[in-house]
Amino acid sequence: MVSVVELCLVGILTVFVVLLILTVTIKVMIELTSKLEERKYEKKLFSEFKNEIFAGILGALTVHTGSLSSPPKQYSTVFQPKISLWKFADRLRDEKVGWMEKAKIEKLSKNEKFNV
């Protein structure tokens, strides 16, 4: 059996080393994840900014043409780039609706009491 002094010294040292390593590991983890989250947030901000600009363009076009779902016929041949923009806007909207439906279903299934 170990001696009392050995047990005390080894015990104190072990607890100190383990908790010190945990301190450093957790600190590193916090720093890394914080940086990753910051980047993610920046990306999100940037994409929101892009959406804002896009919405601005759409808004301007809507005012101009009075329609959101299809490009105005009178411009369809003249403004080809705008037609692709309209198609892109429609796709975005569809995707958004799909995503919202999915989120709703997920939320409902989580509320289900016996959902194993």
Partner 1 sequence: MVDVGAFMFGFFETGFESLTLGNLIMIGIGLVLIYLAISKEMEPLLLLPIGFGAILANLPLTGLTENGGLLEIIFRYGIEWEVIPPLIFLGLGALTDFEPLLADPKTFLLGFAAQIGIFISLLLAILAGFSLPEACSIGIIGGADGPTTIYVTQKLAPHLLGGTAVAAYSYMAMVPLIQPPVIRVLTSLEERKIVMKPLRKISKQQKILFPIIVGIVSILFVPKAAPLIGMFMLGNLFRESGVVERLSKTAQNELMNILTIFLGIAVGSSMTAENFLKPSTLLIFAIGIIAFTACTATGIFFAKLMNLFLKEKINPLIGAAGVSAVPMSARVVQREAQKANPQNFLLMHAMGPNVAGVIGSAIVAGVFLGAIL
- Mask 35-74, x = binds partner 1 (CB under 8 A)? --x-------------------------------------
Token pair belonging to 104: 């709703």
Q: Please report how close the Cβ of residue 94 comes to partner 1 at its closest, in angstroms.
A: 29
For the four alpha carbons of 32, 38, 42 and 44, in that order, the dihedral sign comes to positive
- Mask 17-36, x = binds partner 1 (CB under 8 A)? xxxxxxx-xxx-xx--xx--
* Residue 14 binds to partner 1 (criterion: CB under 8 A): yes
